[in-house]
Amino acid sequence: MGTNSMWGQPPRLTTTPSGGAEIIDPRDGSPLGLIPASYTWAGKPRPSAANDGQTIRITDVGHSASGSLFQSDGTIWRPVNGSVLIGAGAGSIAAPIKTVTGVVDGAFTLPLGNPTMPADFLPVGAIIKVSAIFHRRGANGPGTVWARLGNNGNSTDSGVNSVATTATDGQDTFIDAHAMIASATTFAAQTGLAPQSTGTGAIVDRTSSAAIASAMIASFDVSGANTLDAFDLIMYKVTAEF
């Protein structure tokens, strides 16, 4: 690192307990910034009292190709500011992200792949927020659009939420739902409860393919459609909060 004329000497770098580097002002020893160490989720150091408060970059979590930042609280690595964007995409009516047509049951094959959280990423108590907007074309029959979460990344996983569309050309559908990680093998799904409303049976415990010790994958699909109708995915977003 070169000499800065303000200091008269180069700043110092010290290694942090998490493997990163802290930039130190050579004049008074005060911290100037942090260069976080980079790890995969599986390869990160264990959270401990020694790295409490330290920040690291996880390269295989998040929507950005550069990964996401996590901070240790001494017992767990949490996303900085409490939330991490796992995956997202946006299109339009004229140019949707993906279309399902010509099949009764079909998955939306996302250009960036299904939003995925690595094995042992989600702690009990985490909240997964899943949003998606769909647009249907054709009025030949019904069809149900799904947002799912589980270990398989396909229609065998449990639904976080689903909406049954009617045989109406141009019908739009918005899913905005939550999955609450209740145990190592269970999440509670908000399957149909709108804000500021009441319902019976709207919160359902899901146990099929829901092991957080394995990768947890969000996916989107259509079921029970007429092959002459088309279903467009206009937007999706998946975030994890803990």
Indicate the domain borders of the chain.
Answer: 1-75, 82-241
How do the pLDDT tens digits run along the chain, 242 residues long? 454 545 466 766 667 776 776 666 677 777 666 778 999 999 999 999 999 999 999 999 999 888 999 999 999 999 999 999 999 999 999 999 999 999 999 999 999 999 999 999 999 999 999 999 999 999 999 999 999 999 999 999 999 999 999 999 999 999 999 999 999 999 999 887 777 888 888 899 999 999 999 999 999 999 999 999 999 999 999 999 99
The CATH number given to 82-241 is 2.60.120
Cα-based angle 85, 171, 100 (whole degrees, multiple of 5): 65
| Three-state DSSP state, 81 | helix
Q: Is 167 left (phi over 0), alpha (psi -120 to 50) or beta?
A: beta
pTM above 0.75, yes or no: yes
